[in-house]
Amino acid sequence: MLGIQSRREFLASTAVGIAAAAARDIPHPMRPRPLPPPPPPPSRWAAKPVVVSSANGLRAVQRAFDLLMQGADSLDAVIEGVKIQELDPNDDSVGYGGLPNADGVVQLDASCMHGPTKRAGAVGALEGIKTPSEVAKLVLKYTNHIFLVGEGAKRFALQYGFKEEDLLTEHAREVWLRWRANLNPDDDYLDVPEGEHMSVRPTGTINCDAVTPQGDISSVTTTSGLAFKIPGRVGDSPIIGAGEYTDNEIGAAGSTGRGESNIKVCGGFLTVEHMRRGMKPTDACLETLKRVAKLTEPRLLDERGRPKFDLKFYAVNKRGEFGAASFVPGRFAVHDGTAAKLMDTAYLYERAASR
Ligand code: GLY
Ranking 30-39, 192-201, 238-247 by mean pLDDT, the lowest is 192-201
Residue 249 has a pLDDT of 98
Residue 289 has a pLDDT of 98
In the predicted structure, residue 74 carries a pLDDT above the cut 60: yes
Which of 93, 223, 260, 312 to mutate for ligand 1's pocket (most ligand atoms within 8 Å of CB)? 223
Which of 93, 237, 260 to mutate for ligand 1's pocket (most ligand atoms within 8 Å of CB)? 237
Q: Report the separation in Å between the CA atom of 25 and the middle of ligand 1, taken as the mean of its atom positions.
A: 36
Which residue from 117, 127, 111 is spatially nearest to 73, judged by alpha carbons? 117
- Per-residue pLDDT of 182-239, as tens digits, reads 887 777 666 766 555 444 555 579 999 999 999 999 999 999 999 999 999 999 999 9
Give the DSSP H/E element, type plus range, for residue 17.
helix 7-21
Ranking 163-167, 274-278, 343-347 by mean pLDDT, the lowest is 163-167
Neighbours of 70 (CB within 10 A): 14
Which residue from 217, 265, 216, 213 is spatially nearest to 241, judged by alpha carbons? 265
Q: Whole-prediction pTM value?
A: 0.86
Q: What is the CA angle 280-284-287, rounded to 5? A: 140
In the predicted structure, residue 64 carries a pLDDT above the cut 70: yes
In the predicted structure, residue 354 carries a pLDDT above the cut 70: no
- Domain boundary assignment for the chain: 43-347
* Mean pLDDT for all residues in the chain: 88
Give the class (CATH, top level) of 43-347.
Answer: alpha beta
Residue 92 has a pLDDT of 84
Ligand 1 binding pocket, CB closer than 6 Å: 203, 205, 223, 225-226, 235-237, 256-259
- Per-residue pLDDT of 145-195, as tens digits, reads 999 999 999 999 999 999 999 999 988 988 888 888 888 777 766 676 655
Q: Which residue has the higher pLDDT, 355 or 27?
A: 355
* pLDDT class of 352 with cuts at 50, 70, 90: low
In the predicted structure, residue 25 carries a pLDDT above the cut 50: no
Residue 329 has a pLDDT of 97
- Protein residue with least CA distance to atom 5, ligand 1: 225
Catalytic one among 205, 212, 271, 296? 205
Residue 190 has a pLDDT of 66
Q: Report the separation in Å between the CA atom of 226 and the middle of ligand 1, taken as the mean of its atom positions.
A: 6
Residue 344 has a pLDDT of 98
Cβ atoms of residues 237 and 251 within 8 Å: no
Residue 1 has a pLDDT of 40
- Per-residue pLDDT of 105-116, as tens digits, reads 999 999 999 999
